Structures are given as structure tokens and as C-alpha cells.
Amino acid sequence: MLEIGSFLSDRYEILSKVGAGGMSDVYKAKDHILSRFVAIKVLKQEFSEDSSFVTKFRAEAQSAAGLEHPNIVNIYDVGSENGLYYIVMEYVEGITLKTYIEKKGQLSFKESASIAIQVARGIEAAHNKNIIHRDIKPQNIIISTDGKVKVTDFGIAKATSSNTISSDVMGSVHYASPEQARNGFVDGRSDIYSLGIVMFEMVTGRVPFDGDTTVAVALQHLQEEIARPSIYAPDLPISFEKIILKCTQKTPDRRYQTIEELLTDIRRSLAHPDEDFVTIAPLVDGGKTKVISPDELDKIKEGRGVAEDLNDDDIDADNGDEYADDEDDDDEYDESLLDDDDDEEDDDDDDDGKLLNPKMDKAITIMGIVTAVIIVIVIIYLALSVAGVFKFGGKKNSESQQTESQTQTESESESETQTETEGQMIDIRGMSVEDAQKAVDRLKLDLTVFAFETKQSDEKDGTILEQDVKAGDTVKRGSQINVVIAGKGDSTSEMVKIPSVIGKTKSSAKSTLESAGFSVTFEYGDYN
């Protein structure tokens, strides 16, 4: 434990301890080089000598360091000193969403939707970099004093280069998806499930599943259907209720497939709360309840999926748990643990090995025929393979094609992102300002054509003579294109200067602009 007033790397002065998790402590500190407050997460001394824990601790910084988004706590620095390993991150003045819910009891629909949008945008930024958070819960969501919502603690997140990964650790069990509970495959839809549980807790003031042990809670995630939130929040709009229910489906294929889809529906719900527009795919197996046998339950208790050491009572609410011990990383549960138990025939055999009845004789005959057919098919396949009709290595080729396809998809995604933020300017000379505005609108870059100077010309009044961003030059989204137009003015026409209103209130900004001779209207974009 660091002493108050001590320094790390002759730069960070420790001011106070603000939280503690399973593997690390969190301190408020002052960066004396950049003169700002920061939060420092320090690996506990008892774990710093264990290389596996140190590797996980560094992995947290590596996962989150590349994420820069207004709804994610930024990572500034990572280092070690005298056997202490630490991560320096943005210090957010505020409280966790967990504390906020406990204080208010239940949040309103609009407040819950607004918080969910900001959390989803932070998760979306991580998913776009192939990082799955895996531990979305109110304890890892901070509401700053200025109302900004930020996602923190990527302690068990993992960067991936493929669409799905195998989970070897699990976040807090109250918010863990069914696939995490059984140690199955985890992808972005697992974060969507956890966010759905968080939304449920915001509007109802309670978690949908609770129990005395982590095993009991995990089994509820696996077997029991979530209650309709409107049972506890009667005024909840149907659209938001169905959004929560779709997020928390047991089967990932029945949830939202991307955070973008979820964001679209939440925004639509804010605009049309009583509209029943959310569609949930039907169950493919008729909705039968999955039953876990006692033997399989014992396996789950012994395995990593619902480890008994992940008990929320041992977790500080302001920081959340950090890492789960994964000495049994290689142990995975078979997907069949959730399947219905197959009925086994209880046929008795004679001690002398005689067949009991003609039915068994018939069954053996049929099995013999099936076996013979399979052998013939294998022989034919091998013969054709030798002849060159079939080629081996199909799996490898398939994997190669999949990698190429994925690379192409990522490249296209980067290209689309580039197109959204900047593009090439077009030639608008010879057009009127109105026609030019329509032309640049087709670039979908939110450009504004502004006539700042008038010159005498033989051209028709209002015709654009010059533009400050030439055709073919790169222009950023939201830029203003200044143009010179033909008119009755002269070459010494005075440039119109727009007064700065940055940082002013709406009324003050309006007054300032109107005093300068401008007509003012306000438009609002998406909630941020």
C-alpha cells in the first residue's frame, strides 16, 4: 500500500486512496509535470511477484490504452517502480452508477435511456477495436459531476483479431451472460446482455437474478427467464421494456447483434416511447426449459464459469473486481451442458450374453447396415481423393479465405470511417451559394458554404468566383467553405467576421450574434 504524500516515478504524488478491488488498489494522485489530477491503479503487493498476475495487469493497459472516446476513461501511462506495477488513468470526479441507483432507487425512463446511450457509445468504440469489455456493470460505469457517463475497468477485456473468442474469466455474476456463466464463447453480444441487465436495474432498482452464492445466480442466468421490467416499473414504455428483454435473451442470436442496432432502437424509443417496434426472434426449440443434471451442476461448481471466489460482497462498489484467478484456463465446459438429458435405454443383458428379444436383434442388424454404408462412402471418397477429384487442405483454404475476408472487412470499415470524417472538396465555382450548398450536402460532410466577400465581375450577381478550399483538397467534416461571389461590391469589400460564442450560454450567444447583424436559429444533434 502506498503512503499518502509519496511519489511514483518522481512525478505522481499520492493524495488519497479512492477504491480497492480484488487485485489492485486505486489512488487519487497529482501529476506534477502536467499539473492535473489522475487516478492510479496499483497492483497489490501480494500479487506483484506473480508473473501471471503482472501479465494480466499490463494487459488491462494494453487493451484500454488505444481507446479514446468521451465515454471511456482514458489511460495515460503505465509503469513499474520498486516492485510496484501501476496504471495512470483519467481521474473522473463523480460517483458510480451503482451508487447513483442506490441513492435514487429507480431511474426514470428518459434518464435510463440517456445513460444507456452513453454507455453503449463507449462499448461501441471498444468493439470497433475488437475489444470485448466482459465486465459491464454499474460499478464500472462512472457518472461525472457534469453528467458525462464513462465506462472504466477493462481488467478482463481482451483484444481480438476475430469475431469471437473463448472466455477464460468471468465478470461479476449478477451481470454475466449465460455464455460467460458456462465458460463458453464470448463476443460483443455478451456485453449487450450485461448492458441489458444494467438497464433492467436502472428502471427497476434491482437486479433480475439474485441468490446466496455465485453458483445460484449463474444458474438463474442459464435457466430462468428474466421478469418483465414493467412488473416493478409500471410506467415503463413498451418500447424500452422490449429493448431490455431483447438484450437479455439467453441465446446470443436472439439479442441485438451489434451495439449500433441497440443504439438505433434506444434513440427511437426516446422519440416514440409507446411505439411497439422491437422485434425479438422466436425460439427455435419451442421455448423448452433447459435442465442441468446434478452431475453437470457439480462440474459447473468445480469449474471456472461460476467461480465461488467471485462474490460481490468482497468487491468495493467504487472500483469493482479486477481479475479472477484462472489457474484452470484450459478447462472449458462442453456446450452440451445446457442440452436436455438424453433418455438412456435400460435394456438388461443376459449373463450368458444372449439377446433378450427380437427388437434388439433388429436394431443390431440396422446398425450393421449403416456401418457398412459408411465404410463404402469412406472408401469411395479415398479413391476419388487419390484420383484428384477432391483436394485435401480445404480447412486451411477456408481459414485463409476467412482471414482474407476479415482483413477486407476491416479495411472497408476503416475506409468507411475515413469517409465519414473527411473527404475531397468539389469545384463549386460558377454556382450560386444556394446551388453550391446543395452540391456539398451530397458529400455528407456537414459542410457550410459561406459568402464572406463580394467582388465586381461580369458574372451574374451571386455567382461564386473563388473558394478557399480548392477542388480535390481534403476537407474535414463540419468545415466552413469560404467563397467570393460576384456582386456590386468592389475588390476592397470588407470581410464579414463572425464573433466567437464558444463557451457562452444559448441566450448570451444569441444576443452576441444578433448584435453583429446575424439571424440566429439553433439545431440539436444526437445526444452525446
Which DSSP string corresponds to 50-109? -HHHHHHHHHHHHHHHT---TTBPPEEEEEEETTEEEEEEE---EEEHHHHHHHHSS--H
- Amino acid found at 373: V
Distance of alpha carbon 173 from alpha carbon 67, whole angstroms: 26
Least confident of 23-32, 58-67, 81-90, 246-255: 58-67
Least confident of 158-172, 255-269, 324-338, 424-438: 324-338
pLDDT at 420: 61
Closest CA to 502 of 490, 493, 491, 512: 512
Least confident of 94-103, 148-157, 237-246, 382-391: 382-391
Catalytic annotation, pick one of 31, 50, 135, 295? 135
CB contact at 8 A, 214 and 306? yes
Q: What are phi and psi of 10, to 5 degrees?
A: 55, 30
CB contact at 8 A, 201 and 194? no
For the sheet containing 464-467, what is the strand order?
448-455, 480-486, 464-467
* 310 has pLDDT over 80: no
DSSP secondary structure code for residue 497 in this structure? -
CB contact at 8 A, 173 and 181? yes
pLDDT digits (tens, 9 = 90+) for 446-459: 788 877 778 888 88
Q: Per the confidence metrics, is the pTM higher than 0.75?
A: no
At residue 305 the predicted structure's pLDDT band, cuts being 50, 70 and 90, is: very low
At residue 329 the predicted structure's pLDDT band, cuts being 50, 70 and 90, is: very low
Q: In angstroms, how far apart are the furthest CA atoms of the chain? A: 117
Cβ contacts of residue 145 below 8 Å, gap of 6+? 93, 94
The 10 Å Cβ neighbour count of residue 298 is 10
Which DSSP string corresponds to 231-280? GT-TT--HHHHHHHHHHT-SSGGGS-SSHHHHHHHHHHHHHSTT------
What is the SS3 assignment for 502?
coil
Distance of alpha carbon 193 from alpha carbon 172, whole angstroms: 13
Q: Choose between 436 and 310: higher pLDDT.
A: 436
The 10 Å Cβ neighbour count of residue 369 is 10
Helix (H) or strand (E) holding 403: helix 394-421
Distance of alpha carbon 146 from alpha carbon 167, whole angstroms: 36
Distance of alpha carbon 340 from alpha carbon 289, whole angstroms: 8
C-alpha cell at 44: 497489490
Highest mean pLDDT among 92-96, 116-120, 340-344: 116-120
pLDDT at 30: 96
CB contact at 8 A, 76 and 154? no
pLDDT at 151: 94
Closest CA to 208 of 230, 237, 234: 230
pLDDT at 197: 96
* 169 has pLDDT over 50: no
Helix (H) or strand (E) holding 165: strand 165-166
Quick one: residue 308, left, alpha or beta (phi over 0 = left, psi -120 to 50 = alpha)? Answer: alpha
CB contact at 8 A, 483 and 430? no
Assess whether 135 carries a catalytic annotation: yes
Mean pLDDT of the chain: 76
DSSP secondary structure code for residue 33 in this structure? T
pLDDT at 385: 74
pLDDT digits (tens, 9 = 90+) for 33-74: 999 999 999 888 777 777 877 887 777 677 778 888 999 998
At residue 434 the predicted structure's pLDDT band, cuts being 50, 70 and 90, is: confident
Question: First and final CA of the chain: distance in angstroms?
Answer: 38
pLDDT at 304: 46
pLDDT digits (tens, 9 = 90+) for 362-381: 677 788 888 888 888 888 88
Percent of the chain with pLDDT over 70: 68
CB contact at 8 A, 230 and 245? no
* 516 has pLDDT over 80: no
What is the SS3 assignment for 462?
coil
Closest CA to 96 of 153, 176, 155, 23: 153
Distance of alpha carbon 291 from alpha carbon 226, whole angstroms: 17
* 27 has pLDDT over 70: yes
pLDDT digits (tens, 9 = 90+) for 175-189: 999 998 888 888 999
Across residues 187-216, what is the average pLDDT? Answer: 93
CB contact at 8 A, 317 and 20? no
C-alpha cell at 331: 478447462
* 336 has pLDDT over 60: no
Distance of alpha carbon 235 from alpha carbon 272, whole angstroms: 15
If 0-12 CB within 10 Å is exposed, 13-18 middle and 19+ buried, where does residue 56 land?
A: buried
